[in-house]
Structure 1
Amino acid sequence: MKRILVQCGQDQIEVAVMENDRLVEYDSEFRGAEHLAGNMYMGRVVNVLQGMQAAFLDIGLEKNAFLYIDDILPAHLEKHPKQKPPITELVQVGQALLVQVVKEPVGNKGARVTTHYSIPGRWGVYMPSADYVGVSRKIENETERERLKHAAEKRLIPGEGFIARTAAEGVHESLIASDLEDLRKRWQAVEELSRQQGNVPRKVYTDFGLLPRWIRDVFRDDVSELLVNDQEAHDSILSLIRPVSPTLCDRVKRYGQQQASLFSRFHVKEQLENGFKRKIWLDNGGYVVVDHTEALTVFDVNTGRYTGSVDLEQTARDTNALAAQEIARLLRLRDIGGLIIIDFIDMNVPAHRQHVLDKLEQESKKDRTKTVIEGWTRLGLVEMTRKKVRDGKDKLTMRRCTACEGSGWVANK
């Protein structure tokens, strides 16, 4: 059973996704704060580094944004030149440029931006200059993929692009057409604002706030119910969902004030704090250790208190399979991105290694964020990547631990 919990406080809105009462996703936003990914800015180029094939832009944030040459060249790979030109031929210092944030500032790094603009809707993602049509990889039925592709192609203007989201599976063409038209109007408004005379840098487009974004991206037919503790938010959610998915309205329920806190009832805070610990215990007594470095995240699996009942090989297989499920959940909960290495307990039987990898792939399919599992290395490690948008530690308002001189993190209370 999948359930969405929305808890609104005086200063903060929090959203949690539960699967069979296990916390799998969490996000929060302070009222008045802003999620930067997806926003578009008129920025000014302040530095062009030919040796890095990159440029830095002032978009009005504390740190300059980073623009790589691949984010300037055409979005469609087939239109890339065989040899990339020097970036100095594409942008110059002082030039005003419309860019979109694709990765939020993390640590000492500024935001990463692109000129491959995209605006997500409920059923698809509109790309005004991509010139191709795609379908979510999670839609596996070839007939349905062709239907969705054709539905978008016949409504696109030459040069435009569109990707049908997983939620579009089985959706009537008229809803996809309506979504596409709405997204196109939003882009036309961005173009109009970008052409107007004004200060540079300046923001010209703001992506949805926390609640509308989660309703758009997560609240679908696989969600059994959405509980919200605030009447205003309850009414707002209904107004968002009624025009696009009216059948879901009955699943939106007001959680009464006279009852215990919504998050307390489902033990969200407890699960959240446990999920961000360095050592995560498994149900069988084994455990997983999570370590973050500048370059990657490492998971180390151990048998712990679990001794098994058959032999060491079976003990390793059972613990690794449980760990694969838990690691997939932790990636979603912590929103871990970038390069990920998993050191499973050694197994000698190829079928056991494949079983563990299959379990990891199966659980990773539940992840809304793109993940790529490369498989086993020659040293017996599993390599995978997950798209990085922002630092997952921001969700807990983490601060560096002063006792260990910055190698650990502590949640602000």
Structure 2
Amino acid sequence: MRWISEQTASLERLALVEGGRLIEYHERMRDEIRVGTFVYAKVDRLHPTLGAAFLIATDGTPLYLPLNETVEALRRYPDVPTIGQAVQVGQTLLVQVVKEGVAPKQHKVTQNITYGGRYLVYFPYGRRVRFSRKLDLVVQRQLAEQLTTTEEEGILYRTEAAKASIDELKQELQSLRIRHKELMQAPRLEQDEALIVQEAKRLPHVTDALVMTRQEKERLELLGLSVERSLRKGRLPEMEAIDGAIEKAMQRVVWLDGGAYLLIEE
């Protein structure tokens, strides 16, 4: 099986194919707010009773920031500040969506932003070291001695970290730090990870990919995939063929191998 990823200025498209046949298809708008999306937002009002702040993103989307998800609460732990001590009305914050809201509820966001890798999850403001529950105590103690973080940083060791060398762990931590630095300098914010990176983590047995961008290639190679990057301009021929398969599947009559067919009606 192979991942095929195509990106435009506004859309990410992803297909999983096997033997020329389409197995899965995903797409999303690049500026769509989802779990993992980074957002700049201004504090609109405080709710002391709830211990939370209500924010407005730059595109007008309302957001909800609980007190325990603020950087100030992390810094003062175990002491708990008030919401007025943690953030102020009119302040602009960098936050990350952790739960998508369903009307009338707002998206829930956090200032404790994260970056996921193959072996580690990096928290620039996390302030502590955590471990996957699948790692036993002996392995946890061994891993805890491998990496050095600042007082402000935090990391979570994934289950796969037990199979990694010290050099691989150090390299991934450095790459995640660089991603955070690049985000701080980015002119626009979007999802932390490309769609193909998220799906590649979901199906780790799929180890082959065709992509369009250098960033996708670099991140997938960190996950151990064999990645081909297309250097041609314009659309991928492979994705154009997938468009035909999707169009065929959306028809009222869908023919199957062997002469049978599905009749799909509302």
* TM tier relative to shorter chain: 0.5 to 0.7
Q: 1: CA distance between counterparts of 2:149 and 2:99?
A: 28
Kindly indicate whether the alpha-carbon contact (under 8 Å) linking 1:39 and 1:207 is maintained by their aligned counterparts in 2. Answer: yes
Unaligned 5+ runs, structure 1: 194-201, 270-412
Q: 1: CA distance between counterparts of 2:77 and 2:63?
A: 25
- What is the CA-CA distance between 1:51 and the residue it aligns to? 2.0
Aligned to 2:231: none
Out of 222, 246, 249, which is 2:226 matched to? 249
Structure number with greater CO (CA < 8 Å, separation at least 6) is 2
CA spacing shift, 1:241–1:101, aligned 2, 3 Å: closer
Question: Which of the two has higher C-alpha Rg?
Answer: 1
Local SS of the residue matching 2:199: helix
CA spacing shift, 1:119–1:27, aligned 2, 3 Å: farther
- What is the CA-CA distance between 1:56 and the residue it aligns to? 0.7
Q: 1: CA distance between counterparts of 2:138 and 2:203?
A: 25
State TM-score, norm by structure 1.
0.46
Q: 2: CA distance between counterparts of 1:165 and 1:47?
A: 37
Q: 2: CA distance between counterparts of 1:191 and 1:171?
A: 29
Local SS of the residue matching 2:73: coil
State TM-score, norm by structure 2.
0.68
1:66 and 2:64 correspond: yes
Q: 2: CA distance between counterparts of 1:148 and 1:210?
A: 29
1:218 and 2:202 correspond: yes
Aligned to 2:192: 207
Aligned to 1:13: 13
Unaligned 5+ runs, structure 2: 229-236, 251-265
1:182-215 Cα distance to aligned partner (Å, 9 max, x none): 111222334456xxxxxxxx85464122013323
Using the aligned pairs only, state the percent identity: 23
5 Å-filtered alignment, 1:157-168, equals 157-168=150-161
Q: 2: CA distance between counterparts of 1:189 and 1:237?
A: 15
Kindly indicate whether the alpha-carbon contact (under 8 Å) linking 2:12 and 2:195 is maintained by their aligned counterparts in 1. Answer: no
5 Å-filtered alignment, 1:56-205, equals 56-72=54-70, 73-75=72-74, 79-81=77-79, 84-139=80-135, 141-152=136-147, 155-191=148-184, 203-204=188-189
Q: 1: CA distance between counterparts of 2:104 and 2:119?
A: 35
Kindly indicate whether the alpha-carbon contact (under 8 Å) linking 2:117 and 2:223 is maintained by their aligned counterparts in 1. Answer: no
Q: 2: CA distance between counterparts of 1:31 and 1:186?
A: 21
Q: 1: CA distance between counterparts of 2:96 and 2:81?
A: 22
- What is the CA-CA distance between 1:170 and the residue it aligns to? 1.0
Q: 2: CA distance between counterparts of 1:88 and 1:233?
A: 45
Q: 2: CA distance between counterparts of 1:32 and 1:205?
A: 7
Aligned to 1:362: none
Q: 2: CA distance between counterparts of 1:32 and 1:129?
A: 26
**Alignment coverage as a number of residue pairs:** 231
Q: 2: CA distance between counterparts of 1:240 and 1:112?
A: 27
Kindly indicate whether the alpha-carbon contact (under 8 Å) linking 1:124 and 1:164 is maintained by their aligned counterparts in 2. Answer: yes
Kindly indicate whether the alpha-carbon contact (under 8 Å) linking 1:36 and 1:101 is maintained by their aligned counterparts in 2. Answer: yes
CA spacing shift, 1:233–1:218, aligned 2, 3 Å: farther
1:257-281 Cα distance to aligned partner (Å, 9 max, x none): 7xx979x8xxx99xxxxxxxxxxxx
- What is the CA-CA distance between 1:66 and the residue it aligns to? 0.4
1:277-301 Cα distance to aligned partner (Å, 9 max, x none): xxxxxxxxxxxxxxxxxxxxxxxxx
- What is the CA-CA distance between 1:227 and the residue it aligns to? 6.5
Give the superposed CA RMSD.
4.0
